[in-house]
Structure 1
Amino acid sequence: MKQMHKKYFLITIFFLMLDILSKYLVFNNLNLYETKKIVSVLNLFHVHNYGVAFSILSNENLWNRFFLSILSIIIILIIFKKILKSNKRDKKLAYCLIIAGAMGNLIDRIYYGFVIDFIDIHIDNWHFATFNISDCSIFIGVVIYIKNTYKIIKKQ
Structure 2
Amino acid sequence: MTKVTDPYAAAPTLMKQWTATGFAVEKSLDKTLVELVKIRSSILNGCANCINMHTIDARAHGETEQRIYLLAAWHEAPVYTDRERAALAWTDALTRMSEGHTQKAAKDALEAHFTPEEQVNLTLLINIINGWNRIAVGFDLWYEGGVLVKAA
If the length of structure 1 is used for normalisation, what is the TM-score?
0.26
Larger helix fraction of residues: 2
